[in-house]
């Protein structure tokens, strides 16, 4: 009987305490994990509980809100406000930052997209939550308007056939935890996650419906992937939920591209709670998180400093093999690129 049950489960709380010795950080991750469990339950019951469809509102960035968007947002806000360790919260679903009451305030500031990819929820496609964590300075929204170099923790939770939490601390490894429904805990299942050393599977992931709007180097790079780099064409895989696309890219290899273009010159993804947290994860797993050509240069997403809580940024993320193809295309057009 004992062989069927783990009597010493390597849980999320144990990992955080062992690696940080910070009880407040343990409380924060536990509060986030609680909200992820609630969201996973709501997503799993969306059909029978009639949670599909629009809520009749729009969010801070003008997107139509789904019923699950609103519910997931409330779940995260309630969990974090009542954790006792947060002072400022920023959500994609709220136009203004949330200042936690003084009697409940703590030392962390958290930005999050409560249900990334929710436009796909009605057709039962994978969705997820993305978050970034900063330490409090003065207790205002400015505590979150800092570059990724100041981000102390970042992660995402994917809701699919399994519920997986992937996160990293600044300067540390990337770790994966899977929700074990039999005990209701996230259990450590992926240790020191890394991009495949050889670049992994030849996969490119982008919304080619925007092809006509891209700059020429991005067009050239995607054509190179389609026609074959090193003699073998790449496969196209695009879910349209950032968490799902990045999770696949991290595990299998390949490249994810959502560049700035003529239609969206600042990019489409939100810097604070999509770009920066995913960039921290990608880089600490041995990958590259580039802006592509943005504000006159090719730089790192992690070095961007948001000028507003809902500002946007472009993203090119993948292993050195595939990001190198994009950089080579920029070089051919006289654009200076960083060293790989």
CA–CA separation, 287 and 75 (whole Å):
32
User: Virtual CA dihedral for 236, 241, 246, 251, nearest 10 degrees?
Assistant: -70
- Annotated active-site residue 8? The verdict is no
319 vs 192, 220, 249, 299, CA distance in Å? 16, 18, 9, 16
Number of C-beta neighbours around residue 236 at 10 A: 14
**115 a catalytic residue:** yes
* Alpha-carbon distances, residue 254 vs 21, 130, 196, 222, 275 (angstroms): 36, 21, 9, 12, 18
* Active-site hit among 92, 143, 175, 322: 92
Give me the catalytic one of 25, 28, 51, 115.
115
Among 274, 283, 293, 322, the active-site one is: 274
| 93 given a catalytic annotation | yes
CB 64 within 8 A of CB 92: no
Residue 175 annotated in active site? no
Q: Would you call 92 a catalytic residue per the annotation?
A: yes
Local structure of residue 272 (DSSP, 8 states): I
**Annotation says 274 is catalytic:** yes
- Is residue 24 part of the annotated active site? The answer reads no
> CA 285 to CA 330: how far, in whole Å?
24
Q: 113, 175, 220, 283: which is the annotated catalytic residue?
A: 113
Q: Return d(Cα 47, Cα 42) in angstroms, integer.
A: 9
| Catalytic residue selected from 25, 28, 32, 93 | 93
The C-alpha atoms of residue 52 and residue 20 are separated, in whole angstroms, by: 40
Tokens coding 69? 């968007």
* Catalytic residue (one of 22, 24, 63, 180): 63
Residue tagged active-site, from 116, 220, 245, 283: 116
Comparing CA positions, the residue from 254, 263, 257, 256 lying closest to residue 229 is: 254
- Gap between the Cα atoms of 165 and 1, Å rounded: 28
Partnered with residue 294 across adjacent β-strands are 297
Q: Catalytic amino acids?
A: 63, 69, 92-93, 113, 115-116, 274
């Amino acid at each position: 009987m004992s062989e069927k049950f783990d009597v010493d489960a390597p849980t999320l709380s144990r990992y955080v305490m062992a690696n940080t010795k910070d009880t407040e950080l343990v409380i924060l991750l536990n509060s986030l994990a609680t909200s992820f469990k609630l969201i996973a339950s709501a997503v799993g019951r969306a059909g029978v509980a009639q949670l599909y469809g629009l809520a009749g509102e729009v969010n801070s960035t003008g997107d139509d809100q789904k019923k699950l968007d609103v519910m997931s947002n409330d779940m995260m806000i309630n969990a974090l406000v009542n954790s006792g360790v947060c002072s400022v919260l920023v959500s994609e679903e709220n136009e203004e930052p949330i200042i936690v009451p003084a009697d409940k305030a703590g030392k962390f500031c958290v930005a999050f997209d409560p249900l990334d990819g929710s436009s796909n929820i009605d057709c039962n496609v994978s969705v997820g939550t993305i978050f970034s964590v900063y330490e409090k300075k003065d207790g205002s929204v400015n505590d979150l308007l800092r570059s990724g170099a100041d981000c102390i923790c970042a992660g995402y939770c994917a809701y699919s056939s399994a519920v997986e939490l992937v996160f990293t601390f600044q300067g540390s490894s990337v770790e994966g935890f899977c929700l074990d429904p039999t005990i209701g805990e996230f259990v450590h299942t992926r240790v020191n996650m890394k991009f495949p050393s050889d670049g992994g599977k030849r996969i490119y992931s982008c919304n080619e419906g925007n092809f006509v709007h891209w700059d020429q180097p991005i067009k050239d790079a995607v054509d190179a992937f389609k026609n074959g780099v090193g003699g073998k064409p790449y496969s196209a895989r695009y879910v349209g939920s950032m968490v799902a696309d990045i999770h696949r890219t991290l595990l299998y290899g390949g490249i994810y591209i959502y560049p700035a273009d003529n239609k969206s010159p600042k990019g489409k993804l939100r810097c604070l709670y999509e770009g920066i947290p995913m960039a921290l994860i990608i880089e600490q797993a041995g990958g590259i998180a580039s802006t592509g050509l943005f504000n006159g240069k090719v730089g790192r997403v992690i070095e961007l400093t948001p000028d507003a809580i809902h500002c946007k940024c472009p993203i090119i993320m993948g292993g050195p093999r595939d990001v190198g193809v994009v950089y080579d295309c920029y070089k051919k057009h006289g654009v200076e690129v960083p060293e790989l």
